[in-house]
Structure 1
Amino acid sequence: MSNCSNHEPSEGVSWSRAILFANGSVPDAKSLDLAIADTDWLVGVDGGTEHCLAMGLAPHVVVGDMDSLAGEQRARLTREGVRMDVHPVAKDKTDLELAMDLAVAESVCEVLVVGVWGGRLDQSLANMLLLGRYAGRLRVRFTDGKEHGAVLVGEDELEIQGAQGSVCSLVPVSGLVDRVTVEGMQYPLHNALIHQGDTLAVSNRITSSRASVGIGQGILVVVWFGE
């Protein structure tokens, strides 16, 4: 018998957000506060499914080549009716990219990726670039419970609330990011131009209960720290 709970959207209501539990580092999955709603679609990304289960939740689908999800967990979830989207180990996409494709196909508006980095540096770098590529189709956010982030694309804006005192960094993943505006931080910016590889906006600090980052063009990853 499972101790995990599942949820479905109300009749006539579609999924609005996909929460992808990736197989990266999550220091304390049991304490994660993701403000899960009935319209959230829970996706276990191979071994990252363990983070979902640690929260006492059952995923709606598990995707990947199943090389890192324990066999007994996979068998139990299958018995409980969880959809298993199994792919071969030899494939052209990572498990996280397969999960992002599922989110696009499900027509959700937003993706929250839990455990997007940690462990292998190559995977962490690839994941950041991957999220940047999908940001034009989905509103992309990510967290491990202590580090939080968002991907801005095109003419876009982000408001950060309740993180006063936290370090915040802006990292361009496109060739350049134009019209960068930062407010509510120690080092404000106004219509700045930041090229890929520039460290101008690394290690800023949030000084207000409400800080904001806006861009006019490009793809920008925003990362901030705090519980």
Structure 2
Amino acid sequence: MKIALCATHLEKMILPQDREYIGVDHGVEELLKQGITPKFAIGDFDSLQNRQTLENLNIQILPERKDVTDTHAAIEYAISKGYDEIELYGVTGGRLDHFFAVMCLLEKYQDVSIKVIDQQNCIQLLKPGIHHIYNQEYYYFSLFALNESILSISQAEYTLDHYLLKRDDPLCVSNEVKGDYTIIENNENIILVQSRDAQ
């Protein structure tokens, strides 16, 4: 099952209407502004401008002092309800510490498909295996090792054959899909960032 989380205000981004949403803190206001009623709302709502926004919504109010971020709590809630595909919107444009926390969660919940999406990028963890990266919404892609991974890339502008990609190696930044798709093979977890030019 798939669900999307909206965590904060989105600059110029129009959210897809064909999925269910969880509003995370200030993200509730963004969803309602775009005509979307969230299936659930969660957070401490410390950044909410109008508390009346929460009326008639299914909500869980979290304490302001806690050991997890609102986004972390929302992901745990979604997983507890059986969702195994989660899209995160509104988690890249604000505080960098919160963004890095989200990146940690990609690895923590690696058995769930989690994508971080903004107007220009889609970020996800690729588990060991062979992956096809299609040239549809995103033309560029970059790869980053979490530790070390033997990496092969074919049908791309820059190809690799069993290259040892280490955590401190930025070699795989800004590659390009050639043809309909690129093939990536990795033996350990890596981070995939797909990007497009600003519109």
TM-score range, shorter chain: 0.7 to 0.9
**2: distance between equivalents of 1:68 and 1:113?**
18
Alignment CA distance shift 1:156-1:101 (3 Å): farther
Stretches of structure 2 lacking an aligned partner (at least 5 in a row): none
Select which of 89, 93, 96 maps to 1:114.
89
Counterpart of 2:141 in structure 1 is 168
Which residue of 1 is the match for residue 69 of structure 2? Answer: 94
Give the match for residue 7 of structure 1: none
Letter in 2 for 1:122: D
Structure 2 counterpart of 1:177, one-letter code: S
Contact 2:29 2:53 survives alignment (8 Å): no
The answer (yes or no) to whether the contact 1:149–1:222 under 8 Å persists in 2 is yes
SS in 2 for 1:112: strand
Alignment-derived partner of residue 188 in structure 2: 217
Segments ≥4 residues shifted beyond 4 Å: none
RMSD: 2.1
Structure 1-normalised TM-score? Answer: 0.77
Please give the secondary structure, in 2, of the residue aligned with 1:56: coil
Unpaired runs of 5+ residues, structure 1, are 1-15
- TM-aligned CA deviation for residue 18 of structure 1: 1.6
Instruction: Find the residue that maps to 2:20 and give its secondary structure.
Output: strand
Identity %: 25
Alignment map for 1:71-220 (pairs within 5 Å): 71-72=50-51, 75-78=52-55, 80=56, 82-135=57-110, 137-155=111-129, 157-163=131-137, 166-172=139-145, 174-178=146-150, 180-218=151-189, 220=190
Partner in structure 1 of residue 5 of structure 2: 20
* Displacement after TM superposition at 1:67 (Å): 0.7
After TM superposition, the score normalised by the length of structure 2 is: 0.87
Quote the residue 2:49 is aligned against.
70
The answer on 1:45 being equivalent to 2:29 is: no
Cα 1:56/1:35, change in 2 over 3 Å: closer
Report the Cα offset of residue 126 of structure 1. 1.8
Residues 116 and 183 (structure 1), Cα distance of their counterparts in 2 relative to 1, 3 Å cut? farther
Greater CA deviation, 202-211 or 85-94? 202-211
Q: CA 1:55–1:212 in 2, change beyond 3 Å: closer, same or farther?
A: farther
Contact (CA 8 Å) 1:170, 1:223: kept in 2 or not? Answer: yes
- Of 34, 37, 59 in structure 2, the residue corresponding to residue 58 of structure 1 is 37
- The CA deviation string for residues 136-181 of structure 1, in whole angstroms up to 9 with x for no partner, is x2011121122122211233624223257x3311122x22223x23
Tell me by how many angstroms 1:194 deviates. 1.2
How many residues get paired?
A: 197
Deviations 1:110-152 (A, max 9, x none): 11111221222222222112222212x2011121122122211
Local SS of the residue matching 2:26: helix
In structure 2, relative to structure 1, the CA distance for the partners of 1:54 and 1:194 (3 Å cut) is farther
